[in-house]
Amino acid sequence: MSSGDNLYHQPTMEEVTVLKDMATKLRIHSVKMTLASKSGHPTSCSSMAELMSVLFFKVMKYKDPKVTKEQRDPANDRFILSKGHAAPILYAAWAEAGLFPVSDLMNLRKIDSDLEGHPTPRLNFIDVATGSLGQGLSVACGMAYAGKHFDKASYRTYCLMGDGESMEGNIWEALNFAGFYKLNNLCAIIDVNRLGQSDPAPLQHDMETYKKRMESFGFHAIVVDGHDILELCKAFDEAESVTDKPTCLIAKTFKGKYFPDIENLMNWHGKALGDKSASVVKHVESLMKNPGVKPTNIPPPTMDAPNVDITGVALSDPPAYTLGDKLATRQAYGSALAKLAKNNPNVVALDGDMKNSTFSQEMLKVDKNRYIECFICEQNMLGVGIGVACRDRSVAFASTFAAFLTRGFDNLRMGVISQTNLNVVGSHCGVSIGEDGPSQMALEDIAMFR
């Protein structure tokens, strides 16, 4: 592991007390919000309360939310809540940071509220919609790739996942991508709270197996007590010092932490606490040193993200085809992609190891640094494309055989909810079977893109 020269400065006991109390506040908000809405996931929020407190009130760098209400600023650190069902604690963190009134939290899941059960970019602090599990890390990879290779800026990207969703194939594709490209500005976090919805997660609290898996993908893996403020502060500092690979914090936590007769027990997933809420809140409140606590140390971002203009993207010169000549549409795509790239430095291309078939390789002739090889991982390719396009950092074109885009249908569905400007190009499509046979020919994609 290569590290920077910065020495770790352990937080004072006063800082630790503030972060503990903030975690407790976030727990209480999660219980009250879900009680008011009569639905939600308070136990899933409780397992990650210390993680959120340390991240939002010590580690992540972003502009003062009391002043800057649009938090999707190019310079700010990025945070993706891949386990989108824990949205209440994310909303609570931003409210406590000063972005909007804490009283608004009681509007969770109301039909006229943007504080939906899972986050969407209708909110000015959300980049992408999450909640269809397994997709957040791919988007985070795209953000980190853009930060490292395009913006060359200081902002870091954090992605918090559940242990159950970490079994998703889409996550494994993203881990492979992040490790291969050594995205040292990416910090993945797995909330290993042991329990899924209807059964324990496969590995439960086998932290050593989690660690070995992350290391096999090229990550610097740190196993931590996810409820220990000091451990978390040190682990996030260590993650920032790693310069040659991405980091994954594997946090051992307990679902429903500090909820009497609920903590670490099955059958409490996705349920408001109902009649138990008052006693739970009373107990959790008793753990606070200072009920009036407020965040005291939200560090500002480094203002080194370049100005990017993605408007006015046009061909460098018009099409020059002769009437009557036959030309494969994929070849025309490659030509058009190159012309767009010549005319705009923010046009980028992604492909799934098909660039010599889709003709996306034409980008290499213009600028090889604006081509992202995603290999045969179509779900991840689409997520990375959504990520590099976030906050208007690029105009992204993702291509492969149209038939293979169907396996990324849910990524595209969530991309629409995320209001992405990703451009998706599928070749070898039509209504008849070509020479390669039915496995290579698209038809269903016509319905998919209707």
Catalytic residues: 378
Confirm if 369 and 393 have CB atoms less than 8 A apart.
Answer: no
The DSSP letter of residue 127 is S
Question: Can you state the angle between helices 277-285 and 13-37, rounded to 10 degrees?
Answer: 170
Contacts of residue 188, defined as CB under 8 A and 6 or more positions apart, other chains included, come to 137, 140, 159, 161, 175, 178, 214, 219, 246, 247, 248, 249
Which DSSP string do the residues of 278-335 spell out, in sequence order?
HHHHHHHHTT-S-TT------PPPP--PPP---TT---SS-----TT----HHHHHHH
Instruction: Quote the CA–CA distance of 23 and 44 in Å, as a whole number.
Output: 14
Which DSSP string do the residues of 25-53 spell out, in sequence order?
HHHHHHHHHHHHHT-S-HHHHHTTHHHHH
Confirm if 79 and 71 have CB atoms less than 8 A apart.
Answer: no
Confirm if 381 and 171 have CB atoms less than 8 A apart.
Answer: no
Confirm if 365 and 342 have CB atoms less than 8 A apart.
Answer: no
Instruction: Quote the CA–CA distance of 193 and 36 in Å, as a whole number.
Output: 25
Q: Which residue, 330, 351, 345, 325, is CA-closest to 434?
A: 330
What tokens appear for 131 in the block? 């909640």
Matching residue, tokens 């992604």: 350
What tokens appear for 112 in the block? 């006229």
